[in-house]
Structure 1
Amino acid sequence: MLSSMSKDLMKAVISQSGTAFSVWGIDHSNETTRNTLKLALSFNCSTKTSEEVVNCLKKVDAYEITRRQHEFYEWHNDPVMPFRPVIERGIDGAFLPTHPSEILKSGKAAEIPFMTGITTEDGCSRSPGFFGNPEIIKDFNIDFNAAAPLVFLYHDTSSNPNYVTEKIKSYYFKNQTLTNSSFSKDALTKIFTDQYFLSGVNEAVQLHINFTKQPVYYYTFGYRGAISYSELYGDSSYNYGVCHTDELLYLFDPKGLFPNYEPTSTDRNITEILTTLWINFATTGNPTPVVDAIIPSKWKPARSENLEYYFIKNVTHVQMKEKLYWDRFQFWNSLPIN
């Protein structure tokens, strides 16, 4: 919806747990270019021109390229995304010729209904991987000052990463070292939730409110059922909450990854709620054109800086709220991160 090449091909957009403003969504420092050249050299490609790089890499087996991803990690598996979308300024036919915020502010984005949101503990896409391996937690405590900017993705966007690291350790960990405790697991999950997901979604919602005329529907999914993707992310011994992609369990058949899954009656009811909301939005641009026994409360568009959202907690608790994790969101806004 942001590119002039594709914006006329859609009538509405659903963006779950990520937007163009997510910290991992755009390359801010030519890191992708540097990593691409490094990748090309590893396959003995000429790097004299971009055309030579592209033509050479096109001939390389995709599996061999993915096998090399570990070469771009600077600390364990971080930075987690060595290749991010780039802005191609001044290039004819570029898919993204300017920053997404500039596109929205200029009125060039598609004027269509927009739905986005997060799960309450989206950050457990990453935190279980830390606690499932004691060596990673040990190394993280030892290397925290150097590792945190890479892990939390402000290594290339902060003017003062050491200051940011100190603030994060104080705010979330109370200056304590990480242990195998529920406090540490919850704190790390909150950091990933806030930096990887909440901040970018909130920025997108606010910009769409300010610079588009179409409704913006913001949701938070807070239902944890009989299964969770956190079981697959490295530490199945702890309840990390409602994890990244957990809403997909109720939109698509999860039996491929969870072959023994038998949905509870509440799981089935949540499936009916989510599929009804998503189908309504896809067909009409409004997730609740009517309220009924399945969807008893109206999902209203976000309209103000309070960022009103639809909280889907369980079958009996579906309602409008505002200012999701507001103190944590304001904390990240206070940091010197671009």
Structure 2
Amino acid sequence: PKREPQENFLLDILIFFTDFYNDEILRYLDKNWNDVMPHILHYADVVEPEDLKAVGEIIRKEYLGNGKLNKKTFKKMIQALGDRLFVADIEKSARLHSAAVKSPVYHYNFAYEGSLSISLVLSNTTDYLGVSHGDDAMYILPVVDLVTNERDRRMSRILIDIVVSFMKNGKPDIIEDWKPLSKDTSSFLNQLKISGPDDIKMVELESIGNSEFWNTLPFRENEKYVSYTKDEL
């Protein structure tokens, strides 16, 4: 069991189609980290005002260390946004959903680097920045004609087979040992990692999205909102 980086979340940093992959903007974000990040990372309203600066510094240290934010460290910022806005709570919601329902819950991480990506459309750069949130949908739905080579077409057929077999049988019929999530929320997270048409494997993970780190921060949200309210009363 291990922790692995989760792909498919680059779009998080292109919020509202803003191009953050820009030297001037990155310099601004670096200089004004503690003023801007509470809003970008959506914790401005869930942290006490007097704690915002300290929380911002903790997050910066966790993801950037002592470095500056620039194009060389851009993917570290992507990781922070993906973890905070999506992945950490994807783990939580998947575990809780699996524990609450009788039917099996299947979880996958789409890590396939295809010939084109939503990130190339939205970031206004030819630099390949990684697998984007929503890239898997392009291989399933006819959004635009982006499947341009045989490898992409094979990947498309596999993803479509996952959806169709799950709709027909309640079980994605892609590999024999795709294990559903456990009903025990404290057990390892079963995840199918899809890195390519010939690179699909099961992994067992302790957590995803650096959730242990994010759970240590004083965010008044979700189940913590109730505990903070009780403490105040």
For the aligned pair, the TM-score class normalised by the smaller chain equals 0.7 to 0.9
Distance (Å, rounded) in 2 between the aligned partners of 1:124 and 1:213: 33
Structure 1: tracts of 5 or more residues without a match: 1-117, 289-294
- Aligned partner of 1:209 in structure 2 is 98
Amino acid at match of 2:82: T
Aligned partner of 2:19 in structure 1 is 129
Q: Deviations over 1:251-310 (max 9, x none)?
A: 02243xx6xx4521111111111000011112222112xxxxxx3443221114322111
The answer to whether the Cα contact below 8 Å between 1:119 and 1:242 also exists between their aligned partners in 2 is no
Where does structure 1 differ by over 3 angstroms across 4 or more consecutive aligned residues? 324-327
Give the Cα–Cα distance (whole angstroms) in 1 for the partners of residues 35 and 60 of structure 2. 13
Q: Where do 5+ consecutive residues of structure 2 fail to align? A: 222-233
Shift of 1:324: 7.0
- Aligned residue runs from structure 1 range 125-204, under 5 A: 125-126=12-13, 129-131=19-21, 133-159=22-48, 160-181=51-72, 184-204=73-93
CA distance in 2, matches of 1:316, 1:199: 28
Structure 2 residue 154 is matched with structure 1 residue 264: no
Q: 1:202 to 1:240 in 2, by over 3 A?
A: same
Q: Within 5 Å, give how 1:269-308 maps onto structure 2.
A: 269-288=154-173, 295-303=174-182, 304=184, 305-308=187-190
> Who wins on radius of gyration, i.e. which is larger?
1
Residues 96-127 of structure 1: CA deviation (Å, up to 9, x unaligned): xxxxxxxxxxxxxxxxxxxxxx9614134425
**CA distance in structure 1 between the partners assigned to 2:143 and 2:125 by the alignment:** 17
Instruction: Please name the residue that 2:198 is paired with.
Output: 316
* Matched residue, 1:335: 217
1:28-67 map, 5 Å = none
Name the stretch that deviates more: 221-230 or 211-220.
Answer: 211-220
Match in the other structure for 1:243: 132
Change (3 A) 1:323 1:251: same
Q: Which is further off, 188-197 or 155-164?
A: 155-164
Alignment of 1:109-120 (within 5 A): 120=7
CA separation of 1:212 and 1:296: change in aligned 2, threshold 3 A: closer
Pairs aligned (count): 208
Give % identity: 25
Q: Which has the higher helix share?
A: 2
8 Å contact 1:123–1:196 — kept in the other structure?
A: no
Once the two structures are TM-superposed, the CA of residue 162 in structure 1 deviates from its matched residue by 2.2
What is the Cα deviation at residue 142 of structure 1?
2.0
**1:227 corresponds to which residue?**
116
Letter in structure 2 aligned against 1:155: A
Check whether the contact 2:140–2:159 (CA below 8 A) recurs between aligned residues.
yes
Change (3 A) 1:273 1:324: farther
SS in structure 2 of the partner of residue 126 of structure 1: helix
Code of the aligned partner of 2:172: P
TM-score norm. by structure 1 comes to 0.57
CA distance in 1, matches of 2:127, 2:206: 24
SS in 1 for 2:201: strand
Tell me, in whole angstroms, the C-alpha distance in 2 between the residues paired with 1:325 and 1:130: 28
**How many Å separate the matches in 2 of 1:234 and 1:319?**
30
Distance 1:206 1:322 in 2: 13
Once residues 154 and 283 of structure 1 are traced to their aligned partners in structure 2, the CA distance between those partners, rounded to angstroms, is 41
Cα offset for 1:202? 0.7
Change (3 A) 1:124 1:240: farther
